[in-house]
Amino acid sequence: MKKFVIWGLVAIGVSAIAGYYLLPTSRTRTSPNVRRVHIQNRTITSTITGTGTVVPETRVDIKPPISGRIEKIAVVEGEVVHQGQIIAWMSSTDRAVLLDGARSIGPDEVKKWESMIRPAPIVAPISGTIISRGVEPGQTVVANDSLFVIADRLKIQVQIDETDVGKIRLGMPVIYELDAFPGRRLSGRVSKIGFESKVINNVTVYLIDIISRQSMRDMRAGMTAYVYFESAKVKNAQALPNEAIHSRRGKSTVTVQSSTGNYTHIDVITGITDGEFTEILTPLPHSLPIVIVEEMGPNPSRRRSQGSPLNPTMGRGRSGR
């Protein structure tokens, strides 16, 4: 009986070993895939990305000077008005009571009181666009009611991490896209850098204001914008793909393969990056064969860096802080 048990265990062990070596799905062998690249000269633009919201630069709530009734509205939402322009007429509470009493008598009595007591005009305090209208003719209002909202122009307000705010300057050109109009790239400039910080999700950020260089009638308050700041730009820079640069013992290195197949690591000093290529400050010959070694498995995949619209060869990035 003991012999049968021992031989059974042996058979099971032999079957397991045979299955490991004979079955193709029971193991995965990886072999390195080597690609050769060379130093190349190219323009590299380093960008800071951020997500912002379209807000009015100056937002004015127009409230009635007295309690009463709105008689006539002279503007519509979206209309451009000028400072001092009459946008509505209203009757005081006393005038509204008198006119209502006159209407019970007849049209002549109404005309009499209308000529004796004029309605009060409501004027635009600034030039801008009516972005909100909260009343209708015949509506009774009090002093705290908001009748209209006027914005002189719209801006984009972006939250930037404190680690990046030092790289942003007044007047710096930016490119931005609106979620409502994907693929449409517009240009702007930095008009304000906030002095007071805010803590959002345990991250210290500063508010940056962006003014568009184009007049865009389709822009609306509340829209989401993706903004790209050009923080640095180097023309004719020595560059390598980011995949060719790796960290080794706390230093940036590149790998060179000799004619005998051996790998040699060379320490390099790096400059700015655009998310796909990185500037190499260490002088290297353009003919130097730098290799990228990748471990290939059954389903190899290579991670690509997200790009910036400031680089026409790269895709759209949205990695805001």
CA–CA separation, 46 and 195 (whole Å)? 24
Maximum pairwise Cα distance, the chain? 126
pLDDT band of 18, cuts 50, 70, 90:
very low
Q: Does 259 have pLDDT greater than 50?
A: yes
Rama region for 103: left / alpha / beta (φ>0; ψ in -120 to 50; rest): alpha
Residues in a beta bridge with 114: none
* 3-12, 112-121, 303-312, range with greatest mean pLDDT: 112-121
CA–CA separation, 40 and 236 (whole Å)? 9
Mean pLDDT across the chain: 83
Q: What would the mean pLDDT of 170-196 be, rounded to a whole number?
A: 91
* 129-166 pLDDT tens trace: 998 999 999 999 998 899 999 988 889 999 999 999 99
Residues in a beta bridge with 241: 277
Buried b (16+ CB within 10 A) or exposed e, 292-303: beeeeeeeeeee
Residue type at position 244: A
Under DSSP, the state recorded for 9 is: H
Q: Does 116 have pLDDT greater than 50?
A: yes
Structural domains for the chain: 31-48+234-296 (2.40.420.20), 50-56+153-233 (2.40.30.170), 67-151 (2.40.50.100)
- Residue 210: both structure tokens together: 């962006």
Predicted pLDDT at 314? 42
Predicted pLDDT at 31? 52
- The reported pTM is 0.62
Predicted pLDDT at 24? 47
Q: Does 12 have pLDDT greater than 90?
A: no
* 218-228 pLDDT tens trace: 788 889 999 99
In terms of Cα–Cα distance, which of 44, 36, 50 is closest to 227?
Answer: 50
